[in-house]
Structure 1
Amino acid sequence: MLHSLIRDFLKLRLCTTLQVRGKGHLSRPHLRNPSWFLRKERKMRDNLVTAENKSFVQEIVHDVYGQSSVVKGVQSYNQICQTQLVKTGDSEEQLWTPYARRTGVIARKIGQYPLWLKNGEKIRTTLLQVVENHAIKYTPPEEYKPAHRPKVAELNKYGCLLVGAESCDPSILTKEYCNLFNNSGVTPKRHLVRFLISPSAAITPGTPLNANHFRVGDYVDVRGKTVDHGFQGVVKRHGFKGMPASHGVTKTHRRPGNIGGGGEKGRVWPGTKLPGHMGNRWRKAKGLRIWRINNKYNVLWVQGSAIPGSTNGLVYIYDSILPLRRHKTAPPFPTVLNDPEECEDVWFEEVHNFKSETITFKPEEQN
């Protein structure tokens, strides 16, 4: 009898119920890899490669892709694999429609620069350099199945164009990553980005994309990742004023203050501005005008100084989707296929060009 009571007592377990209300997921940055994402670089290990073997590999790379040189202000290779290159002449100019979606380009944010209009108004612009873009692969709408389905209406009507930027040494990349560029015939790229485009805007792999893909006066949308500031308080994250530094203030100088109300609203309302992770988010600046284009170095002067991203960071440039800032006339569609002889600098008609002559004198006629 005593043994059974002791056995039943040992089976008892003390437990408490902790009620948790309003528990949500933290807003952390997530990395979603696309289907074409492969291991780019090898692990850091000693492969016992001698200096002679390294020089031999570099000779093979130079024979196939040419010597490393600066092309339009970007470190690149002056020759590409001509045996596998798809001719850009295979692409034909298509008929542009107002709702056709062209491809975008990959650019690097290199700084800010002021410009002046002809009426004397000063405007701030951001310089974006298109860094050696090439079309790598096109997937038609019926074959494109994204790993993470984006929030786009009627996704099945758009195809996927893979664009690469910034050529690099293929000897430092893995074999499976370099195989992605076999059909396009271009040097392996350091960055790959996909663009959803209309089937009529498809581009043959190997076609270059330059700054003349856009025109001065056009409006574009620029997408980039904001600067990562880490975990910050409300003063830096949301611009709160804070409390005074003295006069009776005790340990509440940079605190948010009261975050709840009284009565029926005695709780923390959703969307309350509180401390948290600041930056490292994808943001898009829409409706920015292109004031100037430099075709020699593939640089765009874009309106505004608040384009997301840090200096020397990558951004993506699209045609603007704002209803009142769409193309009124046909742009180069699907892109500039032939490289025409254009002037080095193209200025918008409202911008004052300091390089132009302002005062001219006619030579006096001698009697």
Structure 2
Amino acid sequence: MALALSTTVKLLEDKLLSLTISCMSVRERHKLNPPPKLRNPTWFTQKNRVSFTDPLTTENQEFLKEVVQDQCNNISSEKPKDLDVVWRPGLQRTGVIARKIGIYPMWLKNGKKISTTLLQVLDNQVIKYYTPESYNPPRPRAGRVSNRKGCLLLGAEQGDPSEFTREYCGIFKDSGVIPKKTLARFFVSPDAALPPGTSISALHFCVGNYVDVRGLTIDRGFQGVMKRHGFKGMPASHGVTKTHRRGGNIGGGGEKGRVWPGTKMPGHMGNRYRILRALKIWRINTKYNVLYVSGQNIPGATNSIVYIYDTKVVTKRHTEPVPFPTYWGGEEVPENIYDKELHEFGEPSIVFKEQ
């Protein structure tokens, strides 16, 4: 019995000695950039925005709307006596703020079909005028000695004053104009200055004039070269693998072994201000202040804000006098004004002569 027990103990010792225990140390992985501290510095003072709810009754709201409407009706667009400047080549007028509302086909008298874009001139009013000496641009250009043009601040689309901040409403304090939803600045000649409160309509332009339209293009996001630049792309088959819509070679070898500036590559598309120049005005609707402008590729989506200027193209500038500094009214005008080359829908298209 004792011999068997000793033999068993010896076998267990041999097995334990054959077992090898391996230990491996793992170092802690440190983060390259530590997490940001969420606590603000001691000198930082947090701003507390308090919203006050004014318990206005329905009667008080209606009364405020009547006051706003009365103030709008009291604004007169009569021509001041001191503005007797006659238009001459070289003078720069103000532009207008409009809204792109759609595309409409038109026909010429020779039967040719053209596409036009409808731009509705909103209730534009002058807010303030800055003289060339007093205007201080937010980003002054280096090298400019003096500013020869003044700055005219225009507003469009009347809004509810209770929906704007006190600082924003202070811009319209001295002009006597109800706060507007949209503001824009236009550089004008000193002779084309307008007093605050002056209204500008679609008759600021004439049929047959050429204008430049500036708008914000539609935001398409990140796009490839086929959609962004109109590339043809690679073949669909015959050995092409995973490069059907890629741009391909951008030029390599020798001196051009780098990416040249201006190379057409994938990137963000849209959401940029672009100007379409020398667009002809074919028709003006005086009832709704709508301009029928040639072309259907004006930048911006439908119902977006655009800015209309007198064209800068030398061959399309005004050769005849235009309303200067703007159209003051006082004359009876038809509801629709057509260009002499445009076919009016009320006129007969085919006329037969008696033999």
| TM-score, normalised by the number of residues in structure 2 | 0.80
Change in 2 beyond 3 A, CA 1:54/1:190? farther
Aligned pairs for 1:271-310 within 5 A: 271-310=262-301
Q: Distance in 1 between matches of 2:141 and 2:168?
A: 25
String of CA shifts for 1:74-120, please: whole Å, max 9, x gaps.
xxxx75274xx576432623111200000000000000011111011
Alpha-carbon distance in structure 2 between the residues aligned to 1:294 and 1:81:
22
- C-alpha change, 1:272 and 1:182, in structure 2 (3 Å) is same
Q: 1:350 aligns with which of 334, 341, 346?
A: 341
Preserved contact between residue 61 and residue 171 of structure 1 (Cα < 8 Å): no
Which runs of structure 2 are paired with 1:5-24 in the superposition (5 Å)?
A: none
CA contact (8 A) 2:125 2:198 kept: yes
TM-aligned CA distance change 1:165 to 1:151, over 3 Å: farther
| Distance in 1 (alpha carbons) for counterparts of 2:49 and 2:121 | 31
Task: Determine whether 1:47 maps to 2:38.
Answer: no
Report what 2:226 is aligned to: 235
Deviation of 1:165 (Å)? 0.3
* SS in structure 1 of the partner of residue 147 of structure 2: helix
Q: Does 1:313 pair with 2:304?
A: yes
2:80 corresponds to 1:90: yes
Instruction: Please give the residue correspondences for 1:334-349 in structure 2 after superposition, counting only pairs within 5 Å.
Output: 334-349=325-340
1:127 to 118, 131, 134: 118
Counting matched residue pairs gives: 304
3-state SS of paired residue (1:64)? helix
Query: Matched residue of 1:317: which SS?
Result: strand
Indicate the RMSD between aligned Cα atoms, in angstroms. 2.4
More moved, 111-120 vs 258-267? 258-267
Among residues 165, 184, 199, which one is paired with 1:208 in the alignment? Answer: 199
- Tell me how far 1:246 sits from its aligned partner: 2.6
Identical amino acids, percent of aligned pairs: 56
CA distance in 2 between partners of 1:232 and 1:340 (Å): 52
| Secondary structure in 2 matching 1:227 | coil
Q: Does structure 1 residue 118 correspond to structure 2 residue 121? A: no
Q: Which moved more, 1:257-266 or 1:302-311?
A: 257-266
Structure 1 distance, partners of 2:315, 2:242, is 50
Q: Secondary structure at the match of 1:253?
A: coil
Q: What are the superposed Cα offsets for residues 270-324 of structure 1, whole Å, 9 maximum, x if unpaired?
A: 2111001111111101111000000000000001111111110010000011111
Alignment check: 8 A CA contact 1:106 1:165 kept: yes
Match for residue 61 of structure 1? Answer: 64
Distance 1:151 1:132 in 2: 36
User: What is the letter of the counterpart of residue 80 of structure 2?
Assistant: D
Question: Contact between 1:86 and 1:205, CA under 8 Å: does it hold in 2?
Answer: no
Pairwise CA distance, 1:339: 3.6
Aligned pair 1:171/2:176, yes or no? no
Q: Which has the larger radius of gyration?
A: 2
1:178-217 residue CA offsets vs partner (Å, 9 max, x unmatched) = 1222222222100000000000000111110000000000
- Tell me if structure 2 keeps the 8 A contact 1:64–1:81: no
Unaligned runs of 5+ in 1: 1-42, 67-77, 362-367
Distance (Å, rounded) in 1 between the aligned partners of 2:76 and 2:219 = 40
Which residue of 2 is the match for residue 254 of structure 1? Answer: 245
Query: What secondary structure sits across from 1:221 in the alignment?
Result: strand
Q: What is the distance in 1 between the residues matched to 2:150 and 2:122? A: 23
Pair 1:353–1:314, CA change in 2 (3 A): same
Residue 162 of structure 1 and its aligned partner are, at CA, apart by: 0.3
Q: For 1:267, which of 254, 258, 280 is the aligned residue?
A: 258
Aligned partner letter, 1:287: A
Q: CA deviation at 1:125?
A: 0.6
TM-score by length of 1: 0.77
Does residue 1:195 correspond to 2:208, yes or no? no
Gaps of 5+ in 2: 1-47
Q: Which amino acid aligns with 1:330?
A: P
Equivalent position SS for 1:191:
strand
1:22-37 to structure 2, matched below 5 A, reads none
Is 1:222–1:285's contact at 8 Å kept on the other side of the alignment? yes
CA distance in 2, matches of 1:238, 1:360: 48
In the alignment, the residues of structure 2 paired with residue 309 and residue 282 of structure 1 have an alpha-carbon distance, to the nearest angstrom, of 9
Name the aligned partner's letter for residue 80 of structure 1.
C
User: Which whole-Å CA distance do the structure 1 matches of 2:316 and 2:291 have between them?
Assistant: 18
Please give the per-residue CA displacement for 1:34-70, whole angstroms capped at 9, x wherever unaligned.
xxxxxxxxx99763443xx15355234223212xxxx
Q: Secondary structure at the match of 2:115?
A: strand
Distance (Å, rounded) in 1 between the aligned partners of 2:294 and 2:143: 27
